[in-house]
Amino acid sequence: MHTDYPHIASAGESALVLYLGAGIDPQTNAWVQLATEAIEQTLGADLVDLVPAYASILVIFRRDQSLPVIARRIRAALPPPPEAASAAGKEVALPVYYAPESGADLEALARRAGLSVQDVIECHAGTVYQVYAIGFAPGFAYLGQVDERIAAPRLATPRQRVPRGSVAIAERQTAVYPAPSPGGWNLIGRCPVPLFNPAASPHMPVAVGDRVRFEPVSRARFLELGGELE
């Protein structure tokens, strides 16, 4: 699994990418989390930013540091791959109102999968997901993996505007849109919990390494929790 890794590639004059694997894999992502902590401790004041992803880490360092030296320091500090995926993160429950009025693609996804709408809801809500990465927009958490039965490709034509709180599926990933934005994922429901609040500490209810489970709620409960329907 780790034969060709780690691999370091330049990403500009003061940035590099550390590759620890390929694809979506809990064990590789656990290694990413360990490596992120080790790099942060090792580079200290020479570090500008770290951006962990599914199987890689973008490392941005000070311009007065050279890439070869930074790469050697990272390799020296890199922990070995874990024997198994870590469960160190917290588990977060997010309420979701699953319905055609809150998830415009729910019925079409069910037809594509050869399942009932209720089957899709139970399948999506019956999985505990891992937060693999934060990206695309502040608060946008990439969660995996979605059950193969309800995995669905991105829309051929992305929407110009996806409502805030929309719960969506793309391939074997799922996510909650933290703010209105364009998007091409399949919408299956809506979550009333804010996924990004710059005034709060922390800004997000979830972090990389956490686990997320979705809890179906009624329309009335969704609105009671502050959810909005457009």
Quick one: tokens of 101?
């009025």
What residue numbers bound the domain in which 220 lies?
91-224
Instruction: State whether 20 and 118 are in the same domain.
Output: no
- Please choose, from the candidates 153, 94, 154, the residue with its C-alpha nearest in 3D space to the C-alpha of residue 124: 94
Domain with residue 119: its CATH number is 2.40.100.10
Residue 1 in any domain: the answer is no
Instruction: State whether 96 and 57 are in the same domain.
Output: no
Average pLDDT on 3-21 reads 88
- Please choose, from the candidates 219, 225, 226, 221, the residue with its C-alpha nearest in 3D space to the C-alpha of residue 100: 219
If one counts the domains in the chain, the total is 2
Q: What pLDDT does residue 88 have? A: 63
78: three-class secondary structure by DSSP: coil
Question: Is the separation of the CB atoms in 178 and 198 below 8 Å?
Answer: no
Residue 165 in any domain: the answer is yes
27 has a pLDDT exceeding 90: no
Q: What pLDDT does residue 162 have? A: 96
What tens digit of pLDDT does each residue of 39-74 get?
999 999 999 998 888 888 999 999 999 999 999 999
Question: Is the separation of the CB atoms in 54 and 173 below 8 Å?
Answer: no
Instruction: State whether 16 and 111 are in the same domain.
Output: no
The dihedral region occupied by 50, where left means phi > 0, alpha psi between -120 and 50, and beta the remainder, is: beta
What tens digit of pLDDT does each residue of 117-169 get?
999 999 999 999 999 888 777 889 999 899 999 999 999 999 999 999 999 99
Q: What pLDDT does residue 1 have? A: 45
